[in-house]
Amino acid sequence: MTTDNPRLPIRAPRGTELSAKSWQTEAPLRMLMNNLDPENAERPEDLVVYGGTGKAARNWASYDALVRTLRDLEDDETMLVQSGKPVGVMRTHEWAPRVLIANSNLVPDWANWEEFRRLEDLGLTMYGQMTAGSWIYIGTQGILQGTFETFAAVADKLQREGRVPAGSTGGATTAGTLAGTITVTAGLGGMGGAQPLAVTMNDGVVICIECDQSRITRRIEHRFLDVQAASLEEAVTMAVAARDERRPLSIGVLGNASVMLPELLETRAPIDIVTDQTSAHDPLFYLPAGTAFEDWVAEREADPVGFTKRAQESMATHVRAMVEFQDRGAEVFDYGNSIRDEARKGGYDRAFEFPGFVPAYIRPLFCEGKGPFRWAALSGDPADIAATDRAILELFPDNERLHKWITMAAERVAFQGLPARICWLGYGERHLAGLKFNEMVASGELTAPIVIGRDHLDCGSVASPYRETEAMRDGSDAIADWPLLNALVNTASGASWVSIHHGGGVGMGRSIHAGQVCVADGTELAARKIERVLTNDPGMGVIRHVDAGYEEAAEVANARGVRIPMEG
């Protein structure tokens, strides 16, 4: 793609002047552009937003047509988008979504990367990831919040089980906090770099092993990591001192996880929680023991097959140490990087003895219809997000975790593109927040409308057997009717745009997922739509988990009046 593209750099308009015919169409227009803002997009010149090749539009002609069509679209019309290309405008009605999107979908027998790439090369499709092709990406805040929520759920589990974590200062772990515990993890990359801040936001201490000095330095510069220790021994000494004072601290240490984790085990370091976010999913990007960091690229290029074998053997050593920490009573989980399977291939047969993070911690939240709830200020004014932050805190005064997150996010998170915020809210909560924002737009407290959407990773909107729906209680991991019903119910309930995607997060053939975005433009009609969408959307999570046999979900359904014909 040319770098002299006259459209670049793309930046969503700010302020209250409309370039489309209403806020209901101005909002998708600004959010499409916002996804391609260089603050958000990894490669805007190729229309790539994030996640490998996740794109906002199929090609530049499609981008131009999307912009042109959104500017002309009436409030009783709907634009249809097929894998990043606007293919039709239909007369609908004012309750219908203004945009309906289907990205990257393939018939199951053809749903593999090879066929997808062939079709992509022919210009017939594009990869939409989750929020790239559905125009609701908000930068790395999403990763930080998800990681914060995962570690908070780890703390809850320890509390629920009444476990005194090994090596803690004694007494049960306080609810919702990692104070008095030490976590060990590895990998400070794009995703993994959120771990140190997520642990300290939960009051814990964490040692992060990373083999690339530049990654450690960058995380310290961005204030995601507090300090670097000169050696593993020093890291443990610092960690124990901080833990004993119940002082949050994140410590980076330069080294190889497959060497250092066994050392921690051998020296009986008092570790409570162990996970990993090295790029284990691709063995060429996992540094094997015995290879110097400086030789990594040359060695993997010279002999990819031999390198893969050595990386898998090192992962076997790494995972063996994780399992043995679990044997000693530590809380251990796989953080979505496939390290268990690579260790199995490397010859270790106990690799799957610890769970993935979704079944272990996130599923209980999904049972309550809890999941990511994000919003962006179309004004572009950070003061609008500050006002919504205050509103959320007032709306949910007793939710300590939410208060902790919002307060710290306001201090620590730099906005990328349009100012935005994310938090996790459950069934019965999301619509209250949406209605409050709509009122604030109507009263003029906010200077322009707010868009409210979410990642496709939510309680009732994704089928992804290697991640979100791994190990469902009734074995329904691969049933993809749920995300389709989710998209249909959001369409029927009045969302402003709705999307159905394939292959986000985990790749072709492995997931089907759906998203929705509502526009709080301050009108009475928007309030009625928001109330329905933000009730029914998380409601899908509750019914999906009731159907799969989770009692926690059945209790939520009973208590909060979710109607399920064959229950109760």
Q: Do the beta carbons of residue 317 and residue 289 sit within 8 Å?
A: yes
Q: Considering only the stretches 105-113, 220-228, 332-340, 448-456, report the one whose residues sit in contact with ligand NAD under the rule CB under 6 A.
A: 332-340
Cα–Cα distance, 423 to 375 (Å, whole number): 9
Q: Do the beta carbons of residue 152 and residue 205 sit within 8 Å?
A: no
Of 158, 188, 463, 540, which one interacts with ligand NAD (CB under 6 A)? 188
**# chain residues binding ligand NAD, by CB under 6 A:** 26
CB of 254 to ligand NAD, least distance (A): 9
- Coil vs helix vs strand at 239: helix
Would you count residue 187 as binding ligand NAD (CB under 6 A)? yes
Strand 512-520 versus strand 450-453 pairing type: antiparallel
CB of 519 to ligand NAD, least distance (A): 28
CA distances from 266 to 4, 48, 193, 320 (A): 57, 45, 26, 12
Q: Considering only the stretches 203-211, 239-247, 264-272, 479-487, report the one whose residues sit in contact with ligand NAD under the rule CB under 6 A.
A: 203-211
Site string for ligand NAD, 277-316 (x = CB under 6 A): xxxxx---xxx-----------------------------
Work out the number of other CB atoms within 10 angstroms of the CB of residue 308.
19
CB of 256 to ligand NAD, least distance (A): 5
Question: Residues 547, 549, 550, 552: is their CA dihedral positive or negative?
Answer: positive
Toward ligand NAD, which CB reaches closer, 286 or 348? 286
Toward ligand NAD, which CB reaches closer, 138 or 518? 138
Of 312, 337, 486, 535, which one interacts with ligand NAD (CB under 6 A)? 337
- Coil vs helix vs strand at 274: strand
What stretch of H or E contains 208? strand 205-210
Toward ligand NAD, which CB reaches closer, 125 or 279? 279
Site string for ligand NAD, 209-228 (x = CB under 6 A): xxxx--x-------------
Of 23, 333, 335, 427, which one interacts with ligand NAD (CB under 6 A)? 335
Cα–Cα distance, 170 to 444 (Å, whole number): 51
B/e letters for 438-456, b = 16+ CB within 10 Å, e = fewer, are: bebbbeeebbbbbbbbbbb
Toward ligand NAD, which CB reaches closer, 72 or 303? 303
Beta strands in 255-297 (DSSP E): 273-274
Q: Considering only the stretches 7-15, 40-48, 300-308, 331-339, report the one whose residues sit in contact with ligand NAD under the rule CB under 6 A.
A: 331-339
What stretch of H or E contains 99? strand 99-103
| Interface with ligand NAD in residues 242-281 (CB under 6 A) | 256-258, 277-281
Would you count residue 149 as binding ligand NAD (CB under 6 A)? no
CB of 49 to ligand NAD, least distance (A): 15
Cα–Cα distance, 470 to 32 (Å, whole number): 32
Cα–Cα distance, 534 to 502 (Å, whole number): 23
CB of 311 to ligand NAD, least distance (A): 8
Would you count residue 38 as binding ligand NAD (CB under 6 A)? no
Cα–Cα distance, 32 to 43 (Å, whole number): 14
- The catalytic residues are 423
Per-state percent for the chain, helix, strand, coil, to nearest 5: 45, 15, 40
Q: Supply the DSSP symbol for 56.
A: S
CA distances from 414 to 43, 253, 409 (A): 20, 25, 9
Toward ligand NAD, which CB reaches closer, 466 or 497? 466
CB of 458 to ligand NAD, least distance (A): 13
Cα–Cα distance, 517 to 495 (Å, whole number): 6
Q: Considering only the stretches 73-81, 160-168, 207-215, 264-272, report the one whose residues sit in contact with ligand NAD under the rule CB under 6 A.
A: 207-215
Q: Supply the DSSP symbol for 71.
A: H
CB of 39 to ligand NAD, least distance (A): 18
Would you count residue 456 as binding ligand NAD (CB under 6 A)? no
Of 176, 190, 262, 465, which one interacts with ligand NAD (CB under 6 A)? 190
Work out the number of other CB atoms within 10 angstroms of the CB of residue 105.
15
CB of 329 to ligand NAD, least distance (A): 24
Of 38, 189, 359, 465, which one interacts with ligand NAD (CB under 6 A)? 189
Cα–Cα distance, 261 to 394 (Å, whole number): 44
Would you count residue 191 as binding ligand NAD (CB under 6 A)? yes
Cα–Cα distance, 376 to 55 (Å, whole number): 20
CB of 339 to ligand NAD, least distance (A): 8
CB of 212 to ligand NAD, least distance (A): 4
Q: How far apart are the first and last CA of the chain?
A: 58
Q: Do the beta carbons of residue 350 and residue 320 sit within 8 Å?
A: yes
What stretch of H or E contains 154? helix 141-160
Give the residue ranges of DSSP H helices in 81-194: 113-121, 141-160
Q: Which residues are at the interface with ligand NAD (CB under 6 A)? A: 186-192, 209-212, 215, 256-258, 277-281, 285-287, 335-337
